[in-house]
Amino acid sequence: MVEEALRVTSPTPVMLRSAARAGRIGGVRVEAGERVVIATLLCTGAYGPFAPDRDPAETAGLRRLWFGAGPHFCLGPLAMAEIRAVVGALRGFPGLVISGRRPARGVLIPAYARLPVRASRRAGRGRTS
């Protein structure tokens, strides 16, 4: 589900590259040095709407494009470890409810300025940490 959420939100919606040499990208002719804007969001969105039950093999061709591609590929495993740590911590609160959300404006990477969550009374029962 985390993979699917990253695909749909594509936290890095656009990436910039420059053409190392003249050639074609798809049907488009590019000259050496020309700037190429990759609309990551459109590439990842082409696989359809959010489907948390989707077989990850269906989108394997994207090779986690939201983390970039090539020699500057993100430290994705570290980002995934952070996401898993947060999701793991929230697992102790099965009745968790998002009680409001406000997107951050004017930021480079999409984020929430505010995302309050409320635990039900039984939340976290029996847990000590």
Contacts with ligand HEM by CB under 6 A lie at: 11-12, 15, 66-70, 72-75, 78-79, 82
Nearest one of 114, 96, 92, 118 to 105, comparing CA atoms: 114
Judged by CB, which is closer to ligand HEM: 18, or 120?
A: 18
Identity of the residue, 8 or 123, whose beta carbon is nearer to ligand HEM in the bound complex: 8
Residue 88: C-alpha distances to residues 33, 37, 78 (Å): 45, 36, 15
Q: How far is the CB of 19 from ligand HEM (least distance, A)?
A: 15
Q: Which is nearer to ligand HEM, 14 or 97 (CB)?
A: 14
Collect all residues with Cβ–Cβ distance below 8 Å to 63 and sequence separation of at least 6: 69
